[in-house]
């Protein structure tokens, strides 16, 4: 049984096949791909796109989805081993995951980084506990470390907009924020671009290094495909010649768990907000996973530019997730 936890659990060729499958489904193929299948979606954090696009994918292809909001309409869940559960979490994943597995054909879990302890977040303990105790496939709807559903939808969008990803110039640029945010999306963006055989540049201020294991994997996929992989602190020169400008804020690895210092750092780097001058070519596409804070992360004029493809990205979540679920099930 395979899960969909990390892009690193799949070969680039398998990921490319999933993108091809997503495009086939979008074009009207296999309308019964999920017939009779039931998915439990377990949310520890809020969502707009993920919640609706996965439920829609299940319904559109003949299945059904049940949504649980942990701590809202469902019990708070513990996942650590050997803890005395005398606090706010009355149920353990060790029971919850196998119970849900008896009812449903797959589980999908959203669990953001805690943003207090970098090593704990890097271990991705909560979603890995679900995978350990479930007896059906588990889908990552964004965990502390990765957002692989977003990555696959992004790859599909690049293919559609540029007529193929191979050899294109992919630039991931850091942007400021109004509060500390996780690294899952930039991790998946880096892996996606490397798996899709693009030349990859990642621009961020000093102190905003991404996870070393993810960067190593992206670098090695680029090397295996004969593509360039580069890290830089120079945003404007990184943007020059980009076919894809992917914008995302993330918190500083050096200021992890220090919200006030983090906010001060965001203020110091306010000039990293993306504007139309960062779109250096008439054909550059501007990408962001959404939600996006206008005029903090990206300026109105860039988000409202015809080169901005964020709504297409969001739509493709539906088709990408249908492809993932039909593959797992």
Minimum CB distance to ligand CP, residue 50 (Å): 3
In the complex, residue closest to ligand CP by CB: 50
Residue from 6, 50, 143, 169 in contact with ligand CP (CB under 6 A) = 50
Q: Is 48 in the site for ligand CP (CB under 6 A)?
A: yes
Nearest in space to 36 (alpha carbons), one of 58, 67, 55, 18 = 58
Among residues 255 and 324, whose Cβ is nearest to ligand CP?
324
* 207-239 exposure pattern, b = at least 16 Cβ within 10 A, e = fewer: ebebbeebbebbbebbeebebebebeeebeebb
Question: C-beta of 288: minimal distance to ligand CP in Å?
Answer: 9
- 204 part of the interface to ligand CP, by CB under 6 A: no
Q: How far is the CB of 33 from ligand CP (least distance, A)?
A: 22
Alpha-carbon span 308 to 292, nearest angstrom: 12
Told to check if 78 binds ligand CP by CB under 6 A, we report no
Q: Which is nearer to ligand CP, 149 or 328 (CB)?
A: 149
Q: Write the binding mask 111 to 150 for ligand CP: x where contact by CB under 6 A, - elsewhere.
A: -------------------------------x-------x
Cα distances from 134 to residues 40, 92, 93, 137, 138, in angstroms, run 12, 12, 9, 7, 7
- Contact yes or no for 139/104 (Cβ under 8 A): no
Residue of 24, 26, 30, 47 that binds ligand CP (CB under 6 A): 47
3-state secondary structure (DSSP) of residue 193: helix
Instruction: Find out whether 46 and 70 touch, Cβ atoms under 8 Å.
Output: no
Asked if the peptide bond before residue 317 counts as cis, ω within 30 degrees of 0, the response is: no
Closest distance between ligand CP and the C-beta of residue 192, in Å? 13
Instruction: Please report whether residue 301 would count as binding ligand CP according to CB under 6 A.
Output: no
Element (H, E) at 173: strand 169-174
Contact positions vs ligand CP (CB under 6 A): 47-50, 142, 150, 289-291
């Amino acid at each position: 049984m395979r899960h969909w936890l990390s892009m690193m659990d799949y070969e680039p060729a398998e990921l490319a096949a999933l993108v091809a499958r997503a495009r086939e489904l979008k074009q009207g193929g296999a309308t019964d791909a999920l017939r009779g299948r039931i998915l439990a979606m377990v949310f520890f954090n809020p969502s707009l796109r993920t919640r609706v696009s996965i439920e829609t994918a299940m319904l559109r292809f003949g299945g059904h989805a049940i949504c649980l909001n942990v701590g809202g309409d469902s019990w708070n869940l513990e996942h650590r081993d050997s803890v005395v559960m005398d606090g706010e979490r009355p149920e353990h994943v060790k029971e919850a995951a196998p119970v849900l597995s008896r009812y449903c054909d797959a589980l999908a879990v959203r669990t953001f980084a805690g943003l207090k302890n970098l090593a704990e977040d890097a271990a991705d303990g909560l979603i890995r506990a679900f995978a350990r105790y479930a007896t059906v496939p588990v889908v990552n709807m964004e965990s502390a470390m990765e957002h692989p559903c977003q990555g696959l939808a992004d790859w599909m969008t690049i293919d559609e907009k540029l007529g193929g990803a191979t050899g294109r110039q992919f630039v991931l640029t850091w942007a400021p924020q109004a509060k500390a945010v996780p690294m899952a999306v930039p991790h998946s963006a880096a892996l996606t671009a490397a798996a899709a055989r693009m030349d990859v540049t990642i621009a961020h201020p000093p102190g905003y290094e991404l996870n070393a294991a993810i960067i190593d994997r992206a670098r090695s996929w680029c090397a295996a495909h004969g593509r360039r992989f580069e890290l830089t602190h120079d945003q404007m020169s990184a943007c020059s010649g980009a076919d894809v400008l992917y914008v995302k804020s993330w918190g500083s690895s050096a200021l992890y768990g220090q919200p006030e210092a983090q906010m001060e750092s965001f203020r110091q780097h306010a000039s990293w907000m993306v504007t139309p001058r960062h779109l250096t070519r008439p054909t550059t596409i501007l990408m962001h996973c959404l939600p996006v804070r206008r005029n903090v992360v990206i300026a109105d004029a860039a988000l409202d530019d015809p080169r901005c493809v964020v709504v297409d990205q969001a739509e493709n979540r539906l088709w990408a997730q249908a492809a993932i679920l039909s593959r797992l099930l």
